[in-house]
């Protein structure tokens, strides 16, 4: 796949998507979001892709936010449309059905933090910074930040980040549960690959249904979420991979999953 603002490569079942506007600190504009939407759709259809890693070009930024030049020209109606369009793209990432890992190599601010939160998991370099500074521009997070952030770190900490508008270090992001790992910058992509490979060693349908149970269950009561879990458990219990996984366990050998 060829894009103007993204770099895409696929190897060993892992798709790597690199936001490629380093001169603009990989800021999100309409072109980036349109290309990302297409990229996510193509990945969803590609059976060879089992996991996705997202990262930023250059050493300074994962994604430093939205392109302020575009934001400054928007009318209220255009602003709402932009927000809804961005939310659709990040919803598509969150519900891709394949695990995605945000390898955050620098600034992840505003839309960059929101995009990282839409990924399944987040690994940060020790130089990364996270934040929702929109209030400093007279706006609020518009790509799902007011919803995903409190679900990840709790209401109080989310409000502190959103209302204060100040960035936090990778170490603080790890402490409050915003990221899963913090590693030295040189180890970021290898760590993301290792995590992707670890997940890919498991049954693909079980991974997909587990993500669905968590993502959708969060929007339900616990009783409703457990019913969803039981339903998905019943579905996955009929798969070839379940039979292979249990047989391999009893035979004390590695399972060979086929995603069926």
Which domains are delineated in the chain? 6-200 (3.90.226.10), 204-250 (1.10.12.10)
Q: Residues 130-156: what's their mean pLDDT?
A: 96
pLDDT, residue 73, reads 67
Residue 134 a catalytic site member: yes
Quote the percentage of the chain above a pLDDT of 70.
99
Q: pLDDT tens-digit profile of 152-203?
A: 999 999 999 999 999 999 999 999 999 999 999 999 999 999 999 999 999 9
Residue 142 has pLDDT above 90, yes or no: yes
H runs (alpha helix) in the chain: 30-45, 68-71, 76-94, 111-118, 145-153, 155-164, 170-175, 188-200, 204-217, 222-236, 240-250
Report the greatest alpha carbon distance in the chain: 64
Q: Are strands 168-169 and 181-183 parallel, antiparallel or unpaired?
A: unpaired
Residue 35 a catalytic site member: no
Say if CB 100 and CB 52 are below 8 A apart.
yes
Residue 16 has pLDDT above 80, yes or no: yes
Structure tokens at 54: 């997202």
Pick the range with the lowest mean pLDDT from 42-46, 95-99, 252-256: 252-256
- The active-site residue, picked from 114, 240, 244, 251, is 114
Q: pLDDT tens-digit profile of 59-99?
A: 899 999 877 777 766 777 787 888 999 999 999 999 999 99
Q: Residues 202-222: what's their mean pLDDT?
A: 94
pLDDT band at 19 (very low <50, low <70, confident <90, very high): very high
Task: List, edge to edge, every strand of the sheet that includes 14-19.
Answer: 6-11, 14-19, 51-56, 100-104, 121-125, 181-183
CA proximity to 169, closest of 231, 124, 110: 124
Rounded to whole angstroms, how far apart are CA atoms 107 and 168?
10
Terminal-residue alpha carbon distance, the chain: 27
Rounded to whole angstroms, how far apart are CA atoms 191 and 96?
21
CA separation, residue 212 to residues 170, 178, 253 (Å): 27, 20, 28
pLDDT, residue 2, reads 87
19 strand-pairing partners: 6, 56
Structure tokens at 56: 């930023």
Backbone angles phi, psi at 72, to 5 degrees: -65, -20
Q: Residues 197-224: what's their mean pLDDT?
A: 95
Rounded to whole angstroms, how far apart are CA atoms 55 and 192?
10
- Structure-model confidence comparison of residues 77 and 16, the more confident one: 16
pLDDT, residue 251, reads 86
- The active-site residue, picked from 134, 160, 166, 172, is 134
């Amino acid at each position: 796949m060829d894009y103007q603002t993204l770099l895409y490569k696929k190897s060993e079942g892992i798709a790597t998507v690199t936001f490629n506007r380093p001169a603009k600190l990989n800021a999100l504009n309409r072109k980036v979001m349109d290309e990302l939407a297409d990229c996510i759709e193509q990945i969803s259809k590609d059976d060879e892709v089992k996991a996705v890693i997202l990262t930023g070009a250059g050493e300074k930024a994962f994604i430093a936010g939205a392109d302020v030049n575009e934001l400054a020209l928007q009318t209220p109606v255009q602003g709402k449309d932009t927000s809804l369009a961005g939310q659709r793209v990040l919803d598509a990432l969150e519900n891709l059905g394949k695990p995605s890992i945000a390898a955050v190599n620098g600034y992840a601010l505003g839309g960059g933090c929101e995009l990282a939160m839409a990924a399944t998991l987040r690994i940060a370099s020790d130089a990364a910074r996270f934040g929702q500074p929109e209030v400093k521009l007279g706006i609020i997070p518009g790509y799902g930040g007011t919803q995903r952030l409190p679900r990840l770190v709790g209401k109080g900490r989310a409000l502190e980040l959103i209302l204060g508008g100040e960035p936090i270090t990778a170490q603080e992001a790890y402490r409050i549960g915003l990221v899963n790992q913090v590693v030295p910058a040189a180890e970021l992509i290898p760590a993301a690959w290792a995590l992707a490979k670890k997940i890919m060693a498991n049954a693909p349908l079980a991974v997909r249904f587990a993500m669905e149970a968590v993502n959708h269950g969060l929007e339900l009561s616990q009783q409703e979420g457990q019913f969803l879990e039981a339903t998905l458990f019943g579905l996955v219990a009929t798969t070839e991979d379940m039979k292979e996984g249990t047989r391999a366990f009893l035979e004390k050998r590695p399972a060979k999953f086929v995603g069926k």
